[in-house]
Amino acid sequence: MGSITLNGVSKAFGETNVIRDVNLTIEERDFVVFVGPSGSGKSTLLRLVAGLEDVTSGRIEIDGRDVTATPPARRNLAMVFQSYALYPHMSVRNNMAFGLKMAKEDKAVIEQKVNEAARILELTDYLDRRPAALSGGQRQRVAIGRAIVRDPTAFLFDEPLSNLDAALRVQMRLEIARLHQALGATTVYVTHDQIEAMTLANRIVVLRDGVAEQVGSPLALYHHPVNRFVAGFIGSPTMNFLPATLGAADDNGVSAWVGDTEVPVAVDASGHEEGEAVTLGIRPEHLLTSGDSGLPTLSGEVQVFERLGGITYIYLRLSDGEVLTVEAPGDIAVKVGDRRSVGIDGINCHLFAPDGQTLPALRRHPLATE
């Protein structure tokens, strides 16, 4: 119970195509996260699954049943809105009971389910209050409680934590993870937040302009992004992109020249010529600031640095004007204007063809399951 299949789903508002031919299979018990820049169609895709919008073309199935034309009320999905969307004129108890009442559940059963959900979410003391008399975090929990009492086929979340402060966000994130573990219900979750996406998902869908650019496990997206867009979108701070030139290729990969530095990268460059212009990508956390590692180095001038306590971000201006973000230890000695070298390990580098596609890695990262 709880599989969702999207088959060639497209959605246009008037002339604008907002979702373009999305194919996606969400398995039972999956926690799928939609990420993407603002306006990429995350909410729209979720609302298509919910039935709140009609598809322009394509098919949606829930548990193998075609629901493309089924109204939201009969899809048995629960949705948690960014605005919480609590019923302002009802008590917390009635907010949570509404769906069960609509389903004509027995009074005693409703009572028991609502109390149980309130207990899990620590809302017992607030059951008789109106939403207006609750804090943001409590409202959020009511919205979640309203979803779980119904025992739906799947949960849909649209940026549920974005209105909470940082500490509460972490707490609720753990709560949602715990609930998913306990209930094992299929969940589709939309977020802007990198950490939410990486920690909650077992599969992430990266959307750009309504196109699903890549679908995969968080670490698959982190280690093996299929194109430059995904590479830049997953990970924070974002990956460094440097112009490079392809050098000689052999069985172990290909070398890439960044200025005068030769970096051997373990990717399959077949179909590409020596001398071709490519982009080399390396994440800030993969650049090495510690002394002589025998690795190729890039050097530049420290433009700015930011100390976060545990780590320091150094922004290094290379001789060709590119600025490199480097993650360094928290206590590193650094001054603006310093000249520094950073080691660059080809094992952590990605190469992108001019069209943005990633040159395929020769070996998969051991943790990067599909």
Partner 1 sequence: MVNQARWQRVGWGVAAWLVALLMFFPIYWMIMTSFKTEAAAVSTPPSIVPMEPTLQNYETVFEQSDYFRFAWNSVVISLGSTMLGLLVAVPAAWAMAFIPSKRTKPTLLWMLSTKMLPPVGVLVPIYLLFRDWGLLDTLFGLTVVLMLMNLPIIVWMLYTYFREIPKDILESARMEGAGLWQEVVYILLPISLGGIASTVLLNVILAWNESFWSLNLTSSDAAPLTAFIASYTSPEGLFWAKLSAASTLAIAPILILGWFSQKQLVRGMTFGAVK
Ligand X SMILES: Nc1ncnc2c1ncn2[C@@H]1O[C@H](COP(=O)(O)OP(=O)(O)OP(=O)(O)O)[C@@H](O)[C@H]1O
- Asked if 160 is part of the footprint of ligand X (rule: CB under 6 A), the reply reads no
Tell which positions 128-157 bind partner 1, by CB under 8 A: 146, 150
Q: Residue 44 CB, nearest distance to ligand X (Å)?
A: 3
Check: CB of residue 146 under 8 Å from CB of residue 98: yes
Nearer to partner 1 by C-beta: 74 or 339? 74
- Asked if 271 is part of the footprint of partner 1 (rule: CB under 8 A), the reply reads no
Q: Residue 366 CB, nearest distance to ligand X (Å)?
A: 33
Cα-based angle 280, 285, 290 (whole degrees, multiple of 5):
100
Q: Residue 126 CB, nearest distance to partner 1 (Å)?
A: 19
Q: Write down the H helix ranges in 164-264.
A: 166-183, 194-200, 218-223, 228-233
> Residue 179, SS3?
helix
Candidate segments 40-48, 58-66, 288-296, 338-346, binder of ligand X by CB under 6 A: 40-48
- First vs last Cα of the chain: how many Å apart? 22
- Asked if 38 is part of the footprint of ligand X (rule: CB under 6 A), the reply reads yes
* Token pair for 353: 């063809």
Candidate segments 56-64, 79-87, 115-123, 305-313, binder of partner 1 by CB under 8 A: 79-87
40 binds, among ligand X, partner 1, Mg ion, none (CB under 5 to 8 A by kind): ligand X
All residues at 6 or more sequence positions from 181 whose CB lies less than 8 Å from its CB, including other chains:
none
Count CB atoms within 10 A of the CB of residue 288: 18
13 binds, among ligand X, partner 1, Mg ion, none (CB under 5 to 8 A by kind): ligand X
- Asked if 39 is part of the footprint of ligand X (rule: CB under 6 A), the reply reads yes
> Residue 70, SS3?
coil
Residue 34 forms beta bridges with which residues?
Answer: 190, 205
Q: Residue 103 CB, nearest distance to partner 1 (Å)?
A: 6
Q: For residue 18, what are the CA distances in angstroms to 33, 141, 236, 350?
A: 18, 31, 26, 30
Q: Residue 191 CB, nearest distance to Mg ion (Å)?
A: 9
Check: CB of residue 302 under 8 Å from CB of residue 337: yes
Q: Residue 158 CB, nearest distance to ligand X (Å)?
A: 7
Sign, CA torsion 108/110/111/117: positive
Which residue from 43, 95, 217, 312 is in contact with ligand X, where contact means CB under 6 A?
A: 43
| Chain contacts with partner 1 (rule: CB under 8 A) | 50, 52, 71-74, 76-79, 81, 83, 85-89, 98-99, 102-103, 146, 150
